[in-house]
């Protein structure tokens, strides 16, 4: 199989490096200083599991990349609207597209069935740009459970974790999922195939929609937030509202709110991705992780007072951070 990592940031470059190290045909698409550093030195990975360096094919243009059998979308959700319309050159008749974005993915309601079938969330897919660019039949969902960051251009720091779940939106066990999972396992990752990808997405959203924005507002780690009784109660209320939205959609989650909070507390003094982005001066994934859930709550008739309050405050923080970065 020929793999393309479309958006080789921290997560994408790490996955691409693992695949290249295992001998797979993989191309990484990137931009800016990170692109130039990888073209000159390859991808350098720092990890407690062992540092390594690989030399996969690195391109700065999708036209140059050529068609692939499997395309991993490595950009964050707010960048996908810019990337998706340019994917045509890399999509062959049977190319599979694996989404790795956090939050509610743009494809979530495609083939969902019932009254919500085909629902499009404006905060996730404004104007339908993404869904118009990527056919539903191509999509395999995924949930990433490892943490990485760009230490410096061309150098990826692997912090912890090595699991990525794959799942067909229709819940089937497909041959394409099996083949992609086998490749990722060969590359040193854990890659279970789930028949309940939509439910698993909601388990992660419980934390995404609560822990991420609260951490940005408080500058606190997971352990700090959950040790504080008042902050922990705000997080609990947001998770309960998110859970209520998922139940409206017929989802039965595999963990309770209390279990989700306990799991986050065990991670310890870890900064969420949203707080890392804020501190680094990067745009936060606010709409994908929180705004989309608020929008969906409005659609399905669930009151989300706590979620909306935190979202509004975090949105103002994001606007102020953006203004300050330009001055």
Active site residues: 204
d(CA 289, CA 196): 20
* Residue 55 dihedral angles phi and psi, to the nearest 5°: -125, 65
d(CA 251, CA 84): 28
d(CA 53, CA 267): 28
Place of tokens 């404004």: 126
HSE-up of residue 68 (Cα within 13 Å, Cβ side): 28
Which two three-digit tokens encode residue 303? 């009151």
d(CA 260, CA 223): 13
CA distances to 8, 68, 105, 289, 298 from 181, in Å:
19, 16, 20, 26, 36
Residues 11 and 148 sit within 8 Å (Cβ to Cβ): yes
């Amino acid at each position: 199989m020929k793999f393309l990592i479309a958006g080789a940031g921290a997560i994408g470059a790490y996955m691409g490096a693992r695949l290249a190290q295992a001998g797979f045909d993989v191309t990484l698409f990137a931009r800016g200083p990170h692109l130039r550093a990888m073209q000159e030195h390859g991808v350098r990975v720092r990890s407690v599991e062992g540092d390594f360096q690989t030399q996969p094919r690195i391109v700065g243009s999708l036209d140059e990349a050529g068609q692939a059998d499997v395309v991993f979308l490595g950009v964050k959700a707010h960048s996908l609207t810019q990337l998706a319309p340019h994917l045509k050159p890399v999509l062959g008749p049977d190319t599979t597209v694996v989404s790795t974005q956090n939050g509610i993915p743009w494809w979530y309601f495609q083939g969902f069935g019932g009254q919500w079938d085909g629902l499009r969330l404006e905060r996730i897919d404004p104007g339908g740009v993404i869904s118009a660019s990527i056919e539903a039949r191509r999509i395999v969902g995924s949930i990433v459970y490892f943490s990485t960051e760009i230490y410096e251009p061309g150098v990826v720091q692997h912090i912890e974790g090595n699991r990525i779940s794959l799942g067909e939106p229709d819940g089937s066990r497909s041959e394409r999922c099996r083949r992609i999972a086998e490749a990722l396992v060969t590359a040193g990752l854990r890659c279970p195939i789930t028949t309940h990808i939509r439910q698993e997405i909601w388990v992660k959203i419980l934390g995404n929609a609560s822990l991420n924005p609260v951490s940005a507002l408080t500058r606190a780690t997971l352990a700090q937030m959950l040790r504080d009784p008042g902050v922990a109660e705000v997080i609990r209320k947001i998770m309960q509202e998110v859970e209520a939205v998922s139940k409206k959609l017929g989802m039965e989650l595999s963990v309770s709110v209390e279990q989700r909070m306990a799991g986050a507390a065990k991670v310890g003094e870890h900064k969420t991705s949203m707080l890392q982005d804020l501190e680094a001066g990067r745009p936060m994934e606010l709409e994908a992780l929180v705004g989309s859930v608020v929008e969906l709550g409005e659609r399905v008739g669930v009151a989300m007072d706590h979620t909306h309050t935190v979202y509004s405050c975090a949105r103002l923080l994001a606007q102020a951070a953006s203004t300050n970065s330009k001055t």
